[in-house]
Amino acid sequence: MVMAQNLTLRHQECKQYKTVLVGSSGVGKTSMVYRLMIDAPHEVSSATGCGFFKKRMSIQEKTLDMSIWDTCGQERYQSVLHLYFKRASAALVLYDITRTDTFNRAQLYLDELVQYFHQQQVIICLVGNKSDLDSEREVSKEDAQAFADSKGMLYMETSAETGDNVRKLFEILAQELLSKESNEEENQCRRNPNLVIREETFFFRHCCNS
């Protein structure tokens, strides 16, 4: 009985966060999720519809369940894309560093995101994938970083093929989610001095450029 109660308590303490991945077809959204889940390269064709994955992570001695929604980048699905934004805590906007058109499209995806969210309520990260193909680069790090800074987004380059920065990306995202929650708890405490927060809260900021 005691063990069952402990398991129930742990389940209740596990934070639940929804993250959506958006970007043009072929930028590597599905490959990135598979890299995170099984830490191995995975050849996939362009996804149709939306894929759902769940990843449990331990950050700052806390456990998070991240539900990851891999949306389709094909244009015929764009009219229903907003349906997957509901109750999202974070969004990763992906582009292919070897294709300028996908970077331009990423900017349009951001415009669509902010139609449904106030940007301060959802953590958004611009992700340049396929960093292993640097010799074929069309989008410079400087241009991408400048765009991310102008929109108040995080920024990182990754390679789903080699795994470079993939896990780090999701760890930073998890830290940002916890930091945001900590700030909200602190603000609530200021509004209501009688509210007791039992755990210490910390604030982290990250430089995500790599």
Which pLDDT band, with edges at 50, 70 and 90, does 80 fall under? low
Report helix, strand or coil for 38.
helix
Q: Is the pLDDT of residue 166 over 90?
A: yes
- Mean of pLDDT over the chain: 79
Are 145 and 155 a contacting pair, CB within 8 Å?
yes
- pTM listed for this prediction: 0.78
pLDDT of residue 7: 42
Question: Helix %, strand %, coil % for the chain, to 5?
Answer: 45, 20, 30
Q: Which domains does the chain have, with CATH numbers?
A: 16-178 (3.40.50.300)
